[in-house]
Amino acid sequence: MKLLHALLPACALLLPCVVSAETFEGKVTMKISTPTMKDGSQDIDFSIKEGYMRIDMNSSRGSAAVITDFKNRKMLILMVAQKMFISRPIPQPGAVPPGAAGAYDPSTHSLENTGMKETILGYECTKYVAKGPEETADIWVTDQLGTFAGLFHGGPGQHAQAPQAWEQAIMGKGFFPMKVVANGQHGTTTLEVTAVQKESLPDSLFAAPDGWRDLSAMMGGMMPGGH
């Protein structure tokens, strides 16, 4: 249950967006490194299909996945080793309340299109610079991989965190980050897409496997939208 309690607040930070279905179907692998990662770096896999996005992550503490169903406005949190899952409505915009730690404030943050171009893994990217009081990030984005919905924060057995300001700046804007270098008061966070594979994905990838235990009713009061 420790894994579940770590996942719940992390999943609440995944903000809704609409995935651009026509531009891409397949898998994207990212390597992420932050000052707080005990393992040094971590790979996160995004599976993208019309109306769906799945994020899979593995660490020394276990494996977990989050499936976002934009068509039906719900999300599934899968605890792989335990073969359990919970289903919840997608959190409404404003999951990070104004004024809260990690909240994005347009009056103190900016996102600038530099016009600079770079090709990464065959995808033409445009460089943006996101600036805020505590962080500056260089972000190379492409409009060919759907719409970015934010990262999966916290991870198995780890403390959940709010999305960084640069994430909130580009969420839902019709592009996907291929490379990020963010410098903040706690150090440097780097993100780089290491593989992109176009392929047809089965619908079963975006549903809880048969036979897994559904904890939705039991955990109803612990997620936004719960009762």
**Cβ pair 139, 151 in contact under 8 A:** no
| Per-position b or e across 134-159, b if 16+ CB within 10 A of its CB | ebbbbbbbbbbbbbbbbbbbbbbebe
Task: List, for residues 174-203, the tens digit of each pLDDT value.
Answer: 889 999 999 988 889 899 999 999 999 999
Which pLDDT value is given to residue 6? 43
pTM over 0.95: no
The Cα–Cα gap between 197 and 28 comes to: 6
In angstroms, what CA-CA distances link 11 with 24, 64, 115, 142, 175?
Answer: 24, 11, 34, 25, 21
Which pLDDT value is given to residue 133? 85
Residues 200-216 have a mean pLDDT of 93
Q: How confident is the model at residue 98 (pLDDT cuts 50, 70, 90)?
A: low
Determine phi and psi for 122, rounding to 5 degrees.
85, 0
Which class does domain 2-222 fall in? mainly beta
- If you average pLDDT over each of 5-14, 83-92, 143-152, 206-215, which comes out highest? 206-215
Paired with 89 in beta bridges are 74
Q: Which two tokens stand for residue 200?
A: 């047809």
Residues 2-31 have a mean pLDDT of 56
Task: List, for residues 22-72, the tens digit of each pLDDT value.
Answer: 468 999 999 988 877 776 788 889 999 988 889 998 766 667 888 988 888
The Cα–Cα gap between 179 and 182 comes to: 10
Which pLDDT value is given to residue 206? 94
Residues 125-147 have a mean pLDDT of 91
What one-character-per-residue DSSP string does 21-64 give?
Answer: TTT--EEEEEEEE-TT-TTS-EEEEEEEETTEEEEEEEETTEEE
Report the run of H or E that residue 8 belongs to, with start and end: helix 2-11
Pairing of strands 84-89, 213-214: parallel
Q: Is the dihedral of CA 96, 102, 105, 109 positive or negative?
A: negative
Higher pLDDT among residues 137 and 58, named by residue: 137
Which pLDDT value is given to residue 221? 45
- If you average pLDDT over each of 51-60, 128-137, 150-159, 215-224, which comes out highest? 128-137
213 alpha-carbon distance from chain centroid: 24
Which pLDDT value is given to residue 37? 72
Radius of gyration of the chain (CA): 17
